[in-house]
Amino acid sequence: MRAERPFNAVMAFCCLLFLILATPVRAATILVYHSFGVNSSMSISMAAFEAQLDYLEQTGHKVISLEDLVNCLNAKQNPPDKAVVIAIDDGWASVMKAYEVLKRRDLPFTLFLPMAYVGNTGSAHSTLSQSDIATLKTYPKVLFANHSWGHSPRLAKDEEFARDDIQKSREKYRQLFGTETKYFAYPYGSVNEAYTRLLREAGFEYLFVTGYNPVSAETKLTAIPRIAAHTLSVPVLASVLRDHEAMVAKANKQPAGSNGPLLSSSRPAETVPRNVE
């Protein structure tokens, strides 16, 4: 009987180690859109958008809020299995078409807004009006975030220009929403060290870039990747999500204590668009 105790202890330890190693490393995919049902290279038809949402629902993917995602990241925890986040950039007026669909489906989403162009009756662009923003505010599952003031390509090249742009964007955001935001998406996905430093000094904690990887507990808060989804057919979207799952599965096989990257930076198909503006 005494000989069984060390054996039982070893078996218990092995079972515990197996459970730890078998615990799935989960990750989320952030899909970003721009305009809906209009004649633009950055637009997705409403039928295609609904087909993507149908696919997510049918395959057990869960659309979570950006806030829920960053709460996981802050806690160094992985997102729920098959988690997807929906983001919309630039604040075009056609967002209201997507809003009706997302509201009907009771889904959360985030709007990254270039502050010079939204809620501005004098804007020459077809962007969200004050009335549109008032309507969006009535939906508790929309999160408003910052996407710069003027959406200029100079932002990652000219530090003084970027400093002024950040200040003006924050002032306009406070004017429209009466508060601050910690969320910022780089225009054109353009990043450099100085621009990131200025954004962090201004209070932005969660910075979003263009990137193919899914988001996990290992993701840097200053480089959270998003995938442009406006040209993804359902089969290509399915391929992207499967690839993300494969990347996570590959990460699961890394030896315990490995210092290698959690996720690959490969992209399986050139059909995934590179431009996230």
H, E, C per residue of 36-51: ECCCCCCEECHHHHHH
Q: What's the confidence (pLDDT) of residue 134?
A: 96
The answer to whether 221 and 205 have CB atoms below 8 angstroms apart is: yes
- Between CA 237 and CA 252 the distance in angstroms is 23
**Is residue 257 included in any domain, yes or no?**
no
Q: What's the confidence (pLDDT) of residue 73?
A: 94
Closest-CA residue to 150 (of 105, 187, 119)? 187
- Between CA 70 and CA 64 the distance in angstroms is 11
Q: What's the confidence (pLDDT) of residue 252?
A: 60
Q: Residue 204 sits in a domain of what CATH number?
A: 3.20.20.370
Give the chain's length.
277
**Is residue 125 included in any domain, yes or no?**
yes
Q: What's the confidence (pLDDT) of residue 106?
A: 98
pLDDT 10s digit of each residue in the chain, 277 long?
444 455 455 454 454 444 334 445 578 999 999 999 999 999 999 999 999 999 999 999 999 999 999 999 999 999 998 999 999 999 999 999 999 999 999 999 999 999 999 987 665 569 999 999 999 999 999 999 999 999 999 999 999 999 999 999 999 999 999 999 999 999 988 889 999 999 999 999 999 999 999 999 989 999 999 999 999 999 999 999 999 888 877 766 655 444 333 333 344 444 555 445 5
- Between CA 33 and CA 254 the distance in angstroms is 33
Q: What's the confidence (pLDDT) of residue 15?
A: 47
Q: Specify the amino acid at residue 179.
A: T
Residue 151 backbone class (left: φ over 0; alpha: ψ -120 to 50; beta: rest): left
Q: Quick one: how far is CA 227 from the chain centroid?
A: 8
**Is residue 248 included in any domain, yes or no?**
yes
Q: What's the confidence (pLDDT) of residue 250?
A: 74
Contacts 24+ apart (CB under 8 A), 267-274: 267/212, 268/239, 268/240, 268/243, 269/236, 269/239, 269/240, 271/231, 271/232, 271/233, 271/236, 272/212, 272/227, 272/228, 272/232, 272/236, 272/240, 273/228, 273/230, 273/231, 273/232, 274/210, 274/228
- Between CA 275 and CA 43 the distance in angstroms is 12
Supply the DSSP symbol for 189: G
**Is residue 150 included in any domain, yes or no?**
yes
Q: What's the confidence (pLDDT) of residue 255?
A: 52
Tokens of 159: 């530090």
**Is residue 158 included in any domain, yes or no?**
yes
What pTM does this model have?
Answer: 0.84
Q: What's the confidence (pLDDT) of residue 189?
A: 86
Domain that holds residue 225: 26-252
The domain total for the chain is 1
**Is residue 225 included in any domain, yes or no?**
yes
CA dihedral over 170, 156, 200, 34, signed as positive or negative: positive
89: β partners: 112
